Amino acid sequence: MGVTARVATYNVRGLRESVPALLRVIRGMRPDVLCVQEAPRFLRWRSRRRELARAAGLNVATPGRLGGVAVLTGPRARVLHAESHVLKVFTGLEVRALAVAVVEIDGVRLAAGSLHLDLHQAARMRHTVEALAHLERAAARFGAAAVIGADVNEQAHQPVWRYLAGRLTDCYAAAPAGAGPTFPAAGPRARVDSVFATRGITVEECGVPGAEIADLAGASDHLPVLARLRVGP
C-alpha cells in the first residue's frame, strides 16, 4: 500500500528576509521532507540551520555547508542515511553541492536531494548530470524512490530543465495545483523552482502552497513548491 509524502523545495535566501514569515510558510506546508537552497553557510551556519528547523518543527538531516543546500525532515520521516557532495568546481563560479537524505516514511523509503544550480548554463548541465548520478546511487543502495527539489535557475523550455524532465517527472507539470511561477516572490513571473520525482512515484498535486501573500513575499525572494507524492505500490 502506498504512502503519501509531502515534499517541498524552498530557496530561503540565507534567512536574510523575515524569518517569522518564513517559519509561518514552512509550518503551513507541513512537509515530511523540505529541500532547502541558500541555507545559512557562513557564521554560525550549523546553529542557524538547527534553529530554523527546530522552530519549524523539523530536523536537519544532512551534513555539510558548501553550496548552501540542506534537507530538513518532519516527524514522520526517519532518516536512514545522509550525505553531501561538492560538485565540480568551476573557476570564478560559486561552489555548488548536492545534499541527500534517505528517509523512511511509514515503511516506504525515499531518497531526497536538494540542489541549487548555477547561473552559468554549462555549469548547470554538468552539475545536474553529476547530482542525478549521486542521487540515483543513494536511492539504489537503500531501495528507495528518488526526488530532487531544486532551484534550477532556468525555466521549463530551457536545456537543463528539459534534461531533468526527461529523466524525472516535473511534478508541477504532472499535477498542477495552484500557482506555478516562483520568482520573484513579490510578483512571480518565472517558474525556476520545482520538485522532480522518479517515474514510479505518483504525483497527486504540486504547486506554490497556499499562504498569506504578505508572508510569501516577505519570507524570501523565491516562493516554495510543495508536492504531494504517492510513494510505493
Q: Are 163 and 128 in contact (CB under 8 A)?
A: yes
pLDDT value for 146: 98
Q: Are 230 and 201 in contact (CB under 8 A)?
A: yes
Confidence of residue 84 (pLDDT cuts 50, 70, 90): very high
Q: Cα separation of 159 and 178, whole Å?
A: 25
Please, what CATH class does the domain formed by 3-231 belong to? alpha beta
Query: What are the residue boundaries of the structural domains of the chain, listed by start?
Result: 3-231
Statement: residue 233 has pLDDT above 80: no
pLDDT in tens, 173-216: 999 998 899 999 999 999 999 999 998 899 999 999 998 999 99
Neighbour count for residue 8 (Cβ, 10 Å): 25
| Mean of the per-residue pLDDT values of the chain | 96
Confidence of residue 156 (pLDDT cuts 50, 70, 90): very high
Q: Cα separation of 102 and 46, whole Å?
A: 20
Mean pLDDT of 92-99: 97
Helix (H) or strand (E) holding 10: strand 3-11
Q: Are 160 and 120 in contact (CB under 8 A)?
A: no
Statement: residue 15 has pLDDT above 90: yes
* CA angle, 8 then 128 then 160, to 5°: 90
Mean pLDDT of 110-126: 97
Statement: residue 97 has pLDDT above 80: yes
Mean pLDDT of 85-105: 97
* CA angle, 231 then 36 then 203, to 5°: 25
Mean pLDDT of 215-233: 95
Q: Cα separation of 212 and 17, whole Å?
A: 15
